[in-house]
């Protein structure tokens, strides 16, 4: 495993891999690695010969400066973890390397960036598009791997890839959960003991909502999920919406012939967690 910090050096390594006939897989991360990230690397290793893992906390996708400041960072620990994996290159640039000047690009992400995360985190997906396209340009991967926990982000990245001249296959990988059901997230380490004890209620409620699907409408399920979680004194729902998989538009009746996903964001104090489940 080799660690590089500059795009020029990264491109040189990838060029040598290409000359050797190796396919390239990219796993973008913001560090604070956990088993969810490792599952992406494992999946990438199944279908690619040369694996690039990026570690970069992208400032342009944080609409809240305090959230950026609090985001967990431990590059040494991340590198120690990656040393046990199948990564060939770890790309760990600094901000000046990725943004030598202000990125003024705009992206056509509508309607995907107008709902849920986009509604509550203005500018977030513009920042995601900025960093993802920069990574795609630097790595030129055959395939890129993203977790389905960030469901809306995955839909938007698929759209970005579809607009690109590069042919990059976007692979969505299943949510990896703790034994108590909490979706693995780098932010979980920021939870207090009491918050961590409460957090599994999010997934438990989503699972119960699926069981109620045959007896209640999408609107009734939405109200029940929101009310159930908000009844906990440490938790506050920012949104829960049942949407179609492709356009992320609200589902108003179960009979619609679309894949339906329930997406949620919940605040536990200053920590914000997201999760999702598919409905039948």
* Total residue count of the chain as it appears in this document: 280
Task: Indicate the SS3 state at residue 180.
Answer: coil
Residue 161 has phi, psi (to 5 degrees) of -65, -35
Q: From the candidates 37, 124, 257, 267, which is the catalytic residue? A: 37
Residues 174-184: tens digit of each pLDDT:
999 999 999 99
Choose among 83, 220, 118, 107: nearest CA to 159. Answer: 107
Cβ–Cβ < 8 Å for 70, 270: yes
Query: 10-residue block means of pLDDT along the chain (280 residues)?
Result: 98 98 98 97 97 98 94 97 95 98 94 95 96 98 98 97 94 98 97 98 98 97 98 98 95 94 98 96
SS3 266: strand
- Give the per-residue pLDDT at 21: 97
Architecture of domain 2-173: 3-Layer(aba) Sandwich (3.40)
What are the residue ranges spanned by the domains of the chain? 2-173, 186-275
Per-residue tokens: 133 = 């396209």
Q: What is the pLDDT of residue 101?
A: 97
Give the residue from 256, 272, 254 showing the smallest Cα distance to 264. Answer: 272
pLDDT computed for residue 191 by the predictor:
98
With left for phi above 0 and alpha for psi between -120 and 50, is residue 123 left, alpha or beta?
A: left
| Residue 37 annotated to the active site | yes
> At the top level of CATH, which class does the domain 186-275 belong to?
alpha beta
Total-model pTM: 0.96
At 49 the pLDDT is 97
Task: Decide if 2-173 and 186-275 have a common fold.
Answer: no
Do 117 and 124 meet the contact criterion of CB atoms below 8 Å apart? Answer: yes
CA 175, CA 115: separation in Å to the nearest integer?
21
3 strand-pairing partners:
90
């Amino acid at each position: 495993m080799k660690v590089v910090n500059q795009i020029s050096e990264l491109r040189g390594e990838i060029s040598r891999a290409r000359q050797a006939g190796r396919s390239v897989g990219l796993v973008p991360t913001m560090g604070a690695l956990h088993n969810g990230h490792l599952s992406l690397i494992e999946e990438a290793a199944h279908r690619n010969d040369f694996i690039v893992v990026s570690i970069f906390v992208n400032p342009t996708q944080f609409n809240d400066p305090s959230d950026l400041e609090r985001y967990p960072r431990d590059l040494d620990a991340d590198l120690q973890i990656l040393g046990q994996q199948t990564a060939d290159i770890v790309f760990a640039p600094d901000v000046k390397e990725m943004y030598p000047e202000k990125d003024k690009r705009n992206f056509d992400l509508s309607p995907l960036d107008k709902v849920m995360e986009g509604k509550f985190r203005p500018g977030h997906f513009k920042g995601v598009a900025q960093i993802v396209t920069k990574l795609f340009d630097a790595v030129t991967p055959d395939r890129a791997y993203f977790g389905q926990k960030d469901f809306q982000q995955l839909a938007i990245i698929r759209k970005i890839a579809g607009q690109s001249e590069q042919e990059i296959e976007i692979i969505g990988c299943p949510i990896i959960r703790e034994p108590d059901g909490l979706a693995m997230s780098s932010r979980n380490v920021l939870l207090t003991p009491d918050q961590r004890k409460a957090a599994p209620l999010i997934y438990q409620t989503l699972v119960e909502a699926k069981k109620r699907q045959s007896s209640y409408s999408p609107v009734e399920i939405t109200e029940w999920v929101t009310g159930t979680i908000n009844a906990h004194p440490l938790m506050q729902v920012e949104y829960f919406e049942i949407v179609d998989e492709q356009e992320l538009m609200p589902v108003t009746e179960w009979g619609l012939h679309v894949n339906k996903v329930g997406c949620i964001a919940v605040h536990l104090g200053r920590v914000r967690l997201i999760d999702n489940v598919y409905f039948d």
